[in-house]
A and B are shown apart, each in its own frame.
Chain A
């Protein structure tokens, strides 16, 4: 008998009490109207920034205002002229190591924790959201959910290879509990709500 069978048969001998799965509909009670201001405060509290724009057409000018002097930037958002990295030329991590800005489309934002869900089909290359120094996520104002229960109703993990909720810039407090931004991932994160 291999390890698999041995483990499974030992589990059968286990004596964990029978408990039925709880009714998850109770989590619906915690949904309510979205307050963009709450999202803003939470995102700022985790080190991110937020800019509220009138429309996607304003993204370009906002980016030029935020980043007047950039050598290496990537975006895959249609209609956004910012960015000069051609992924066809990217063969390995080395080629993206100096990426300064990535502008990606987030699927939705979560009011309670300032996170934005980004899935692999919107990343261009899976390493882009973490390897870039500065991450800009563009999300529609209509795509904000209250909390993580609502968030998980919006996605289907079966249909994505890799998907990540990103809440603010990368951080660490491993040196004497002092919060420092930019551990391994993006040092800065901006959310553009359009």
Chain B
């Protein structure tokens, strides 16, 4: 394990910020998502009650996960769905490949699945001479450009329309254009052909319902539905063990929150429920562990398994906005990625929990009430204790760790923080790459608390 990887978030961020124009464009697009989310959630008076319900349902499911998985398996099997279990990414990929090979399926359309990204399924299938076509527009763009998603809801959010226009000219023979309507239409025609000629389809799972054995997929494009129905002979869905919820009635809570918190829509265009395969067709579900049970055994961190992947925590994160999704080496970027990654490989992802200001905004927007910023802090403690095992490289990491690990600068009186920022301003803006080139505002003469006391008591 070289030390290089330990500071890669910092290096990536510096790189990202070197293109100031693009960095500021990216920052604005992420803010736009956050704004839409705020408008949508404020419209629901019961939002906070929904968050509590969602958190309790997920926490309960995790506490009886084995029972609910068994119930799900029993009901899904009775419905004619075939269930497989995979301990890790390799086993998942092997199961998927074997099923496809048994059916002689060579052309597959897939809708967006972060789990399949986590397992690097596409590489594996391609190595087995199986063509796998991403059907989500953002994912298809990235498949063309050979990149990984930089965001879990809008995977190609880092790409400008000019870049996509050029990519489509090369890959789809479109005329020179950066018009999103024209480019989307070109992708529609190109992918229609793929849907119609596919031998099988694949997807992730948003929710799996123990009580009915059904699974739910949420998309805006309709690609999961078209993939499964235009070619309904074989479908393989991959799900992490944590996707289970007990009953159908619980779905209402999550469906009301997911799209509102993700993109500000009241619901995704398609909220699709699959319970039984067509006659003569097969649906397979691969239930995957891949370190999730390891996380379940971590008292301080296992609530991260409640995540429903809405992406609100990254859309609100000041570090994500200023460093881009690719700065995180893990498949899931942003605050949630930063607390999920260390359980997979604490050395490789040691710097991820440090890619945060601990401002707590992630925790505030999380629909399932994961204490994200506290977990970031706790991971830092764990990593710092193991620090001797993998040395931190140079001043930058130490500086960031120093600034960010010392919570006293966030002391509620603010006085110490003000003192710190006044005298160590350089460290705050330069020790963390995402602070470089960004000046801190002038320090007020009195802290907020003092000001409030004077004016409001």
B161 at the interface (CB under 8 A from A): yes
Count of chain B residues near A, Cβ 8 A? 96
A26 at the interface (CB under 8 A from B): yes
A130 x B136 contact (CB < 8 A): no
- The distance from the CB of B206 to the nearest CB of chain A, in whole angstroms, is 13
B333 at the interface (CB under 8 A from A): no
**Nearest CB to that of B183 among chain A residues?**
A175
A87 to B214, CA, bound (A): 27
**Nearest CB to that of A115 among chain B residues?**
B267
A178 x B161 contact (CB < 8 A): yes
**Nearest CB to that of B92 among chain A residues?**
A3
Identify which of residues 159-185 in chain A touch chain B, using a CB-to-CB cut-off of 8 Å. 160-178, 180, 182-185
B138 at the interface (CB under 8 A from A): yes
A190 to B278, CA, bound (A): 28
**Nearest CB to that of A2 among chain B residues?**
B85
A16 x B221 contact (CB < 8 A): no
Q: Which residues of A contact B65 (CB under 8 A)?
A: 11, 14, 16
Contact among B70, B269, B302 with A14 in the assembled complex (CB-CB below 8 Å): B302
- What does the 1/0 interface line of A148-160 toward B look like (CB < 8 Å)? 1101110111101
A171 x B196 contact (CB < 8 A): no
Contact among B154, B155, B275, B298 with A160 in the assembled complex (CB-CB below 8 Å): B275
A110 to B251, CA, bound (A): 15
A176 x B195 contact (CB < 8 A): no
Q: Take A161-B276, A182-B185, A184-B195 as given contacts and tell me if A171 and B220 are in contact as well, using a CB distance cutoff of 8 Å.
A: yes
Q: Take A11-B66, A147-B252, A174-B137 as given contacts and tell me if A164 and B185 are in contact as well, using a CB distance cutoff of 8 Å.
A: no
B180 at the interface (CB under 8 A from A): yes
A148 x B248 contact (CB < 8 A): no
A92 to B197, CA, bound (A): 10
B251 x A148 contact (CB < 8 A): yes
A8 at the interface (CB under 8 A from B): yes
B444 at the interface (CB under 8 A from A): no
Q: Take A113-B266, A148-B255 as given contacts and tell me if A14 and B296 are in contact as well, using a CB distance cutoff of 8 Å.
A: yes
B174 at the interface (CB under 8 A from A): no
Q: Which residues of B contact A66 (CB under 8 A)?
A: none
**Nearest CB to that of B215 among chain A residues?**
A157
Contact among A12, A22, A161 with B66 in the assembled complex (CB-CB below 8 Å): A12
Q: Take A10-B289, A18-B63, A175-B161 as given contacts and tell me if A167 and B249 are in contact as well, using a CB distance cutoff of 8 Å.
A: no
A95 to B253, CA, bound (A): 39
- The distance from the CB of A17 to the nearest CB of chain B, in whole angstroms, is 6
**Nearest CB to that of B271 among chain A residues?**
A165
Stretch at the interface among B51-59, B338-346, B424-432: B51-59
A6 at the interface (CB under 8 A from B): yes
Stretch at the interface among B99-107, B226-234, B398-406: B226-234
Q: Take A16-B62, A130-B222, A184-B223 as given contacts and tell me if A175 and B164 are in contact as well, using a CB distance cutoff of 8 Å.
A: yes
A3 x B60 contact (CB < 8 A): no
A99 to B316, CA, bound (A): 42
A94 to B197, CA, bound (A): 8
A16 to B250, CA, bound (A): 20
- The distance from the CB of A133 to the nearest CB of chain B, in whole angstroms, is 10
B87 at the interface (CB under 8 A from A): yes
- The distance from the CB of B314 to the nearest CB of chain A, in whole angstroms, is 14
- What does the 1/0 interface line of A125-149 toward B look like (CB < 8 Å)? 1110111000000000000000111
B154 x A173 contact (CB < 8 A): yes
A17 x B63 contact (CB < 8 A): yes
Q: Which residues of B contact A46 (CB under 8 A)?
A: 265-266, 269
Number of A-B residue pairs having CB atoms within 8 Å of each other in the complex: 262
B87 x A180 contact (CB < 8 A): no
Q: Take A148-B256, A176-B29 as given contacts and tell me if A19 and B56 are in contact as well, using a CB distance cutoff of 8 Å.
A: yes
Q: Take A16-B62, A162-B272, A165-B271 as given contacts and tell me if A157 and B226 are in contact as well, using a CB distance cutoff of 8 Å.
A: no
B386 at the interface (CB under 8 A from A): no
Q: Which residues of B contact A168 (CB under 8 A)?
A: 269
- The distance from the CB of A141 to the nearest CB of chain B, in whole angstroms, is 21
B273 x A157 contact (CB < 8 A): yes
A85 to B437, CA, bound (A): 63
Q: Which residues of A contact B52 (CB under 8 A)?
A: 22
Q: Which residues of A contact B183 (CB under 8 A)?
A: 175
**Nearest CB to that of A27 among chain B residues?**
B252
B266 x A126 contact (CB < 8 A): no
A13 at the interface (CB under 8 A from B): yes
A180 to B161, CA, bound (A): 13
A132 to B345, CA, bound (A): 46
Q: Take A21-B246, A183-B221 as given contacts and tell me if A167 and B137 are in contact as well, using a CB distance cutoff of 8 Å.
A: no
- The distance from the CB of B435 to the nearest CB of chain A, in whole angstroms, is 26
Q: Take A115-B267, A177-B154 as given contacts and tell me if A4 and B85 are in contact as well, using a CB distance cutoff of 8 Å.
A: yes
B184 x A172 contact (CB < 8 A): yes
Q: Which residues of B contact A21 (CB under 8 A)?
A: 56-57, 60, 246
16 A-B residue pairs with Cβ-Cβ distance under 8 Å, sorted by A, are A2-B85, A14-B293, A14-B302, A16-B65, A46-B265, A46-B266, A46-B269, A156-B248, A157-B212, A157-B214, A162-B228, A163-B273, A166-B270, A171-B220, A184-B226, A185-B221
Query: Other CB < 8 Å A-B pairs besides A15-B298, A16-B302, A114-B266, 9 of them?
Result: A15-B297, A24-B249, A130-B225, A149-B256, A163-B273, A168-B269, A175-B164, A176-B180, A177-B157
Q: Which 7 A-B pairs have the closest CB atoms?
A: A185-B222, A14-B296, A183-B221, A113-B266, A10-B293, A174-B138, A127-B229
